[in-house]
Amino acid sequence: MRGGRFKTGWRSACALALLTFAPAAARAETPPLVIHYIGDLSTDASGGRDTGTKWVSRLDVAYSTSDRLFGIDGAHAQADIMLLRGGGFSAVHSGDYQVVDNIDAPHAIRPYEIWLEMPFGSRIRAKAGLIDLNNEFDQQYVGALFLNSSFGIGPDLSQSGPNGPSIFPITAPGMVVAYQPPGWTARIGLFDARSGDVAHPHRFWPDSFGADGALVIGEAHRQIGPLVAVQAGGWGYTSSQPRLDGHGAGTSAGGYAMIEARLIGHQDGRALRVWLRGGGATDVTEPVQIYLGGGLTWTTAHAAYGIAFAHARLGDPAHRIPIENAHPDRAETAIEATARWRLATGVEIQPDVQYIVHPGWNPAYRNAVVMALRLDVTRLVGL
C-alpha cells in the first residue's frame, strides 16, 4: 500500500504559514512562496522485519495565487513541487502495511499538486488539475496530529487502484465539484484511475491517460452544532480490477464514515477532541476489507498530545493467500502516542512512538516498537 498522504501537507502548511506570518503576508504585494520541510528520524527498536534507523524527509515549495485570479472573486490556483528522500522505512524495518510514517515514499522530485479552482455562484466551486484526493475527501481533521498514514486517509481507500488513488506521493489528473450551503458540504470527484506510471515510478503523469478508467468518489460532510461533525463517502472504479485470487477481474469499491467531536474546551484554545472512522472495501480485489481507527487529542496554543489506534482487517480472499508459506494473521493494529511542541515561529518538533501488532499480517514478524522524532519547519519567501 502506498503511504497515506502527509496530512499536514502543503495546504495545511500554507494555512499555518499565513497564520504565523500574517503581518508579513499582509504587507506583501503578492502571495509568498511557502517552503515546508519535514524530517523524520525513525527507529525500529524491536520486532517487525528488521531493527534499524532511517531518516526520511519531504520538502515542498508551494505557491498559491490570490483569491481574485483573472479578476474573478474566489478564483485561485495552486502549485507544489515536492522533493522526497530516504523512503522505505516500513518496507525495510517495521514491515507494516499501513505505513508508520506518512512521508515515507521513494526518492523523487515531482509536481505534487497543480490545479485551478473556480467559483460558480456563492455555493458551488470546481477544481481541476493534479489534485490530492485527500485534500478534498476522507480528511481526518483530528487525526492530522499523528504520523501513521492511516490517520491521514483510511487504508480501505488508499490501497485501491492500479498504483494507488490520487494521493501522496503521486497524484493524478482529476476534477472535484463541491456544493457548500451553510453547515454542510457535498463533493463529487472524478480522477484518472492510474496515478503516475507503475513502470516508471518517478513519472507523475499516467502512462496512458484514461486507459484504466476512472475513480469516482463522493462525500457529504455535516457540521452538527459547534461541537460535532460527521462525514460519509463512497468510491468506486469504473473499470474492473484484478482479483486477489488471480481469477480474472472484479469490482473495486468501498465506503467510509467518520464522527469527530470536541468534548471540552474552545475551538481556538485548549480542547479535548475525539474521532472515530470506519471503512470497508470489496474483498475480492482489495486486501483490507474492514478498517476502524480513531483516538483522542488534547491541544493548547503551543502544544498538542494524542493517542490513537488503526485496525486494518483482511478479507477472506487475502487471508487465504500465504505469506512466506505461512497462514497470515487476520489483522494489523497500530497504536500511536505522540506529542508536538512549537519551538519558535514556524518550527515544531514531534516525538512519537508506535506499537504495531502483527505487522504486515506476517506471522514471522514479532510485534514492532517504532520511535520517531519529527522536525517541521515552515517559511514564507516574498516574491
pLDDT tens across the length of the chain (383 residues): 655 544 444 444 444 343 334 444 444 456 789 999 999 999 999 999 999 999 999 999 999 999 989 889 999 999 999 999 999 999 999 999 999 999 999 999 999 999 999 999 999 999 999 999 999 999 999 999 999 999 999 999 999 999 999 999 999 999 999 999 999 999 999 999 999 876 666 666 666 677 889 999 999 999 999 999 999 999 999 999 999 999 999 999 999 999 999 999 988 889 999 999 999 999 999 999 999 999 999 999 999 999 999 999 999 999 999 998 899 999 999 999 999 999 999 999 999 999 999 999 999 999 999 999 999 999 999 86
pLDDT at 25: 40
In a domain, 3, yes or no: no
Tell whether 5 is covered by a domain: no
Q: What is the pLDDT of residue 1?
A: 60
In this structure, the number of other CB atoms found within 10 A of the CB of residue 345 comes to 10
pTM of the model: 0.90
Please indicate, yes or no, if residue 1 is contained in any of the structural domains: no
Domain harbouring 154, CATH code: 2.40.160.10
How many distinct structural domains can be found in the chain?
Answer: 1
- Any domain includes 180: yes
Q: Looking at residue 16, what is its pLDDT?
A: 39
Res 31: pLDDT: 76
Question: Which is nearest to 1 in space by CA: 167, 146, 141?
Answer: 167
Taking the C-alpha atoms of residue 12 and residue 6, their distance in angstroms, rounded to an integer, is 10
In a domain, 142, yes or no: yes
pLDDT tens by residue, 150-179? 999 999 999 999 999 999 999 999 999 999
pLDDT at 211: 80
Residue corresponding to grid cell 516498537: 369
Contact 123, 140 (CB under 8 A): no
Does some domain include residue 4? no
Domain of 278 in residue numbering reads as 10-381
> Measured between alpha carbons, how far is 319 from 245 in angstroms, rounded to an integer?
11
The span from the CA of 311 to the CA of 297, in Å, is 18
Q: Measure the CA–CA gap between 221 and 291, rounded to whole angstroms.
A: 20
Cell (9 digits) for 252: 473495486
Q: Coil, strand or helix: which one is 76?
A: strand
